């Protein structure tokens, strides 16, 4: 039996009518009588599926249509055309049963009660989502422990730092234990430690709840730590949909061989691959094309006193950039 995907998107399109007006008084008066608009297509014929329990990175440059897509899947926006199904619901019908099963967390969002201690906001969440007292208390305490919120929950939200507030926001958004989680830049503006803690928490939540997660982030560390699969979009359409490794394989044209030698000999290593850089302490980085990897590695091992050798993919940022610049899925 084929398992039903948690998220299914078919030919989804969202276009906005944006008012346009030429500068100057004449145009301004003209606009009183005839309002001109221009259609801006944010999402265009988007198609993908996400299996239950999957964590998928949803990547793209600014203006690619990521947030618009997530907002449609969360039921905030009605699409211009196309269909989407999340957990069997049509998101923009905004049925309470659906809203009780999903969460959209945006990095710049503040849903907590500004003037009240975090715990009071959590109590409100309990009443909104009709959570049984015991389940709520247990989940809340566990979230507080996992996100190290203990010292913060009795402070008014306005007194929390950005990172502290984000942690509290995430805890508040997950108290009803959503089965589908849309994360839009959840670590934006946070320091490295806080980013790491949130990543760990999301991974833990996915593992224990079996929740489906669709994540957008400009921090590739988020994507690498959480997602086995990525969907890359630009101009509202899918450019790539597959595993992170496949992305590197298909779009990363080069690899880096890092070799540590017993005796450093820069002259000789220059003849390997496209370029070689001495990192010091006898360690060299050699850029090679993918087809050259086996041959260059073989030569290195045969001709040099290699103590250690690793083969690295190019940084994921470079790969993604290559996807954007190419603008289509490779054949």
- Token pair of 66, please? 């990521």
Instruction: Find the binding residues for other proteins in span 113-152 (CB under 8 A).
Output: 113, 115-116, 120, 123-124, 126-132, 135, 138-139, 142, 146
Q: Please report whether residue 37 would count as binding other proteins according to CB under 8 A.
A: no
Per CB under 8 A, does 311 bind other proteins? no
Name the 3-class secondary structure at 203. helix
CB of 74 to other proteins, least distance (A): 6
Identify which range of 23-31, 111-119, 300-308, 309-317 contacts other proteins by CB under 8 A.
Answer: 111-119
Place of tokens 């669709």: 214
Q: Within 204-223, which residues bind other proteins (CB under 8 A)?
A: 204-205, 208-209
Q: Residues 84 to 103: which contact other proteins by CB under 8 A?
A: 94, 96-97, 99-101, 103
Q: How far apart are CA 287 and CA 305, in angstroms?
A: 19
Q: Are 27 and 34 in contact (CB under 8 A)?
A: no
If binding is defined by CB under 8 A, does position 246 make contact with other proteins?
no
- Verify binding: residue 50, other proteins, rule CB under 8 A: no
Q: Which residues contact 318 (CB under 8 A, 6 or more apart)?
A: 252
CB of 139 within 8 A of CB of 126? no
Number of residues that bind other proteins (CB under 8 A): 46
Q: How far is the CB of 157 from other proteins (least distance, A)?
A: 11
Q: Which is nearer to other proteins, 94 or 274 (CB)?
A: 94
The DSSP element (H or E) to which 43 belongs, if any, is strand 36-50
Closer of 182 and 240 to other proteins (Cβ) = 182
Report the first-to-last Cα separation within the chain, whole angstroms: 31
Residues 231, 243 contacting (CB under 8 angstroms): no
Residue 211 tokens, joined: 């929740």
157 sits near other proteins (criterion: CB under 8 A): no
Supply the minimum distance, in Å, between the C-beta of residue 90 and other proteins: 13
Nearer to other proteins, 4 or 78 (CB): 78
Cα–Cα distance measured from residue 217 to residue 219, given in angstroms and rounded to the nearest whole number: 5
Distance CA 178, CA 173 (A): 8
Q: Is 317 in the site for other proteins (CB under 8 A)?
A: no
Residue list 2-21, contact with other proteins (CB under 8 A): 16
Give the whole-angstrom CA distance, residue 76 versus residue 84. 13
Quick note: the x/- pattern for other proteins over 265-304, rule CB under 8 A, is ----------------------------------------
Q: Which stretch binds other proteins (CB under 8 A): 57-65, 72-80, 213-221, 312-320?
A: 72-80
User: How far apart, in whole angstroms, are the C-alpha atoms of residue 282 and residue 45?
Assistant: 52
**Helical spans, DSSP H, in 231-287:** 244-251, 266-269
Return the ∠ at Cα 284 (arms to 282 and 290), rounded to 5°: 155
Q: 176 vs 197, which CB is nearer to other proteins?
A: 176
Residue 35 as a binder of other proteins (CB under 8 A): the answer is: no
List binders of other proteins among 164-203 (CB under 8 A).
176-179
Residue 32 binds to other proteins (criterion: CB under 8 A) = no
- Minimum CB separation of residue 233 from other proteins in Å reads 18
Q: Enumerate the β-bridge partners of residue 43.
A: 14
List, as one string, the DSSP characters of 211-246: -EEEEE-S-HHHHHHH-SEEEEEETTEEEEEEEHHH
User: How is residue 255 written in tokens?
Assistant: 């690899």
Sites of contact with other proteins (CB under 8 A)? 16, 71, 74-78, 94, 96-97, 99-101, 103-104, 106, 108-111, 113, 115-116, 120, 123-124, 126-132, 135, 138-139, 142, 146, 176-179, 204-205, 208-209
């Amino acid at each position: 039996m084929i398992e039903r995907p948690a998220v299914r998107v078919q030919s989804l399109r969202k276009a906005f009518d944006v008012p346009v007006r030429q500068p100057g008084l004449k145009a301004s008066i003209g606009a009183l009588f005839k309002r001109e608009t221009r259609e801006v297509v944010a999402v265009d014929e988007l198609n993908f599926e996400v299996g239950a329990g999957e964590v998928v990175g949803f990547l793209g440059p600014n203006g690619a249509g990521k947030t618009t897509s997530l907002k449609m899947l969360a039921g905030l926006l009605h699409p211009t055309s196309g269909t989407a199904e999340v957990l069997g619901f049509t998101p923009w019908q905004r049925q309470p049963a659906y809203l009780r099963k999903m969460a959209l967390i945006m990095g710049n969002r503040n849903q907590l009660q500004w003037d009240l201690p975090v715990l009071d906001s959590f109590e409100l969440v309990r009443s909104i989502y009709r959570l049984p007292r015991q389940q709520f208390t247990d989940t809340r305490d566990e979230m507080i422990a996992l996100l190290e919120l203990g010292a913060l929950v009795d402070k008014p939200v306005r007194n929390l730092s950005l990172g502290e507030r984000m942690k509290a926001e995430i805890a508040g958004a997950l108290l009803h234990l959503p089965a589908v989680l849309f994360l839009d830049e959840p670590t934006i503006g946070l320091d490295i430690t806080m980013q790491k803690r949130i990543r760990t928490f999301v991974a833990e939540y996915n593992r224990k709840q079996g929740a489906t997660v669709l994540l957008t982030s400009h921090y590739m560390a988020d994507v690498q730590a959480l997602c086995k699969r990525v969907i890359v979009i630009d101009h509202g359409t899918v450019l790539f949909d597959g595993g992170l490794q496949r992305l590197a394989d298909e779009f990363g044209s080069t690899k880096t061989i890092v070799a540590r030698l017993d005796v450093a000999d820069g002259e000789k290593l220059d003849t390997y691959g496209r370029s070689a850089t001495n990192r010091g302490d006898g360690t060299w980085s050699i850029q090679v094309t993918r087809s050259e990897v086996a041959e260059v590695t073989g030569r290195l091992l045969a001709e040099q006193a290699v103590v250690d050798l690793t083969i690295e993919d190019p940084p994921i940022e470079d790969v993604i950039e290559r996807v954007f610049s190419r603008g289509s899925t490779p054949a």
